[in-house]
């Protein structure tokens, strides 16, 4: 096991990167700025770009692996790091590190990669939150998440369940559903799951602020003939207009910190729903870091209707503490947590009244 405490420690090795996506480009640029020579950038699928040349090591495999370190610059819910590591071992690489393991040496850079952070003070209340979960499976998953974050260890993260069951876990009592409120509806992917699983519901109420995504969502709902109401806006703690990072992907998000001419209308759910929901309302929140703010904007709704909730907990480091704590203070929910993606992504908190 090698110890790398600073970027300059990499100068002792022949450095390779595996992963030519956005994170690979960010890490490549930072390392080069710090005088680290990158021997090669590997990727199974990507092609060369204006930042670096990309090699497929499983085709062009004449590689000197002596005194080498390979950093897997992938942070993706659908990619199993251990499978990549096994393939690279077969090529002769023995020193392989995940982006999670090496993240602390980049502490001075504001990468904003979901839950990854070098400030772990938010975890001081982790044991108190763990006690809120009602089943042993949730307690175990939560403990694994906390320990993985404390130690920057991919290996300690919980194994993901089938992502097709996201928001509809087979061992969480989320049914029946009356109104299904889909916050962060994207292109209707969760609606697809509902229809595929033949889940019964009264109506769907969906919010999606990215207009490219909204148009796809609207066409999908229209062609399916389901009973739905669609809102081309985001949700927040208050009804206002907020800066928006809009790229037409599922990662489009509210970002009050950016200086941009792109803004969207956001609403507080308490301003939208007044005496018009039923007691079997189920709210799903996958809104790229705006979950806590949105919960603050629907406190009256929660107290009145006591909806079932499925809330993503991985967009910000502190979400695994602040969100269950906030909900616990509003209502005596029964909490469950399930993991649906690799790298500690797609973590969902279920709150059942």
115 occurs within a structural domain: no
Residues 216, 340 share a domain? yes
Question: 41 and 127 in one domain?
Answer: no
- Tell me which DSSP letter residue 12 carries: G
- Let me know whether 158 and 218 are in one domain: yes
Q: What is the CATH number of the domain that holds 148?
A: 3.40.50.150
112 falls within a domain: no
The pLDDT value recorded for residue 243 is 86
Mean pLDDT of 308-315: 98
Instruction: Judge whether 270 lies within some domain.
Output: yes
Percent of the chain past pLDDT 90, that is, above it, reads 86
| 77, 115 Cβ separation under 8 angstroms | no
The pLDDT value given to residue 246: 62
Q: What is the pLDDT of residues 173-195, one digit of tens each?
A: 999 999 999 999 999 999 999 99
Residue 247: φ, ψ to 5°: -130, 10
Interval 154-169 mean pLDDT: 98
Q: Which two tokens stand for residue 186?
A: 């994207």
Statement to judge: residues 212 and 320 lie in one domain: yes
Q: What is the mean pLDDT of residues 115-144?
A: 97
218-264 pLDDT, tens digit each? 999 999 999 999 999 999 999 999 987 665 545 555 566 555 557 89
Torsion of CA 329, 351, 341, 115, to 10 degrees: -10
Q: Which of 326, 297, 299, 298 is nearest to 313 (CA)?
A: 326
Counting beta carbons within 10 angstroms of the beta carbon of residue 147, is it exposed (0 to 12), middle (13 to 18) or buried (19 or more)? middle
Q: According to the model, what pLDDT value does residue 274 have?
A: 84
| Host domain of residue 348 | 121-352
Beta bridge partners of residue 266, listed in sequence order = 234, 240
Residues 293 and 116: their CA atoms lie apart, in Å, by 20
Alpha-carbon dihedral sign for residues 235, 237, 241, 243: negative
Q: pLDDT value at position 64?
A: 83
Q: Which two tokens stand for residue 104?
A: 């602390």
Query: Where does a domain end: 106, 129, 157?
Result: 106
Is 336's pLDDT higher than 70?
Answer: yes
Percent of the chain, pLDDT > 70?
Answer: 94
Q: What is the pLDDT of residues 85-102, one digit of tens each?
A: 999 999 999 999 999 999
**pLDDT tens for residues 33-79?**
999 999 999 999 878 888 899 999 988 666 888 899 999 999 999 99
Between CA 312 and CA 84 the distance in angstroms is 26
The answer on pLDDT for 270 being more than 70 is yes
Residues 95, 198, single domain; the answer is: no
Which of 106, 139, 163 corresponds to the end of one domain? 106
Residue 3: pLDDT band (50, 70, 90) is confident
Q: What is the pLDDT of residue 291?
A: 98
Tokens standing for residue 1: 């096991």
In a domain, 111, yes or no: no
pLDDT at 24: 96
Average predicted confidence (pLDDT) for the chain: 93
How sure is the predictor about 217, in pLDDT bands with cuts at 50, 70 and 90? very high
Cα–Cα nearest to 179, from 319, 16, 305: 305
Tell me, yes or no, whether 332 lies in a domain. yes
What does residue 244 show for φ and ψ, rounded to 5 degrees?
-140, 130
Among 48, 73, 106, identify where a domain stops.
106
CA distance 112 to 26: 11
- Cα separation, 209 vs 213, in Å, equals 8
Q: End-to-end distance of the chain based on CA atoms, in angstroms?
A: 47
Q: What is the pLDDT of residue 253?
A: 54
Model's pTM, two decimal places? 0.93
If one compares 148 and 248, the residue with the highest pLDDT of the two is 148
């Amino acid at each position: 096991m090698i110890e790398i405490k600073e970027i300059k420690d990499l100068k002792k090795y022949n450095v390779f990167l595996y992963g030519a996506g956005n994170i690979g480009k960010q890490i490549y640029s930072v390392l080069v700025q710090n005088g680290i020579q990158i021997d090669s950038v590997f990727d199974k699928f990507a092609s060369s770009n204006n930042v670096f040349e990309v090699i497929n090591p499983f085709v062009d495999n004449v590689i000197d692996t002596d005194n080498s370190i390979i950093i897997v610059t992938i942070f993706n819910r659908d990619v199993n790091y251990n499978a990549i590591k096994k393939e690279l071992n077969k090529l002769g690489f023995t020193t392989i590190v995940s982006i999670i393991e090496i993240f602390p040496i980049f502490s001075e850079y504001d990468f904003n990669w979901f839950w990854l952070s070098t400030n772990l003070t938010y975890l001081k209340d982790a044991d108190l939150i763990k006690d809120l979960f009602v089943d042993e499976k949730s307690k175990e998953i939560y403990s694994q998440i906390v320990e993985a974050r404390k130690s920057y260890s991919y290996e300690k993260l919980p194994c993901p369940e089938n992502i097709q069951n996201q928001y509809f876990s087979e061992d969480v009592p989320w049914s029946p559903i009356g109104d299904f409120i889909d916050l962060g509806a994207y292109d209707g992917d969760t609606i697809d799951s509902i229809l595929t699983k033949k889940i019964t519901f009264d109506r769907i109420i969906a919010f999606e602020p990215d207009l490219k995504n909204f148009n796809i969502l609207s066409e999908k709902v229209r062609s399916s003939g389901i009973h739905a109401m669609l809102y081309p806006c985001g949700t927040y703690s208050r009804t206002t207009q907020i800066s928006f990072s809009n790229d037409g992907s599922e990662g489009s998000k509210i970002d009050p910190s950016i200086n941009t001419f792109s803004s969207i209308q956001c609403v507080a759910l308490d301003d939208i729903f007044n005496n018009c929901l039923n007691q079997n309302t189920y709210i799903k929140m996958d809104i790229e870091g705006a979950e806590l703010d949105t919960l603050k904007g629907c406190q009256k709704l929660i107290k009145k209707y006591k909806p079932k909730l499925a809330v993503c907990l991985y967009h910000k480091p502190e979400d695994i503490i602040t969100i269950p704590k906030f909900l616990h203070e509003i209502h005596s929910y029964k909490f469950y947590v399930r993991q649906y993606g690799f790298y500690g992504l797609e973590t969902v908190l279920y709150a059942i009244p």
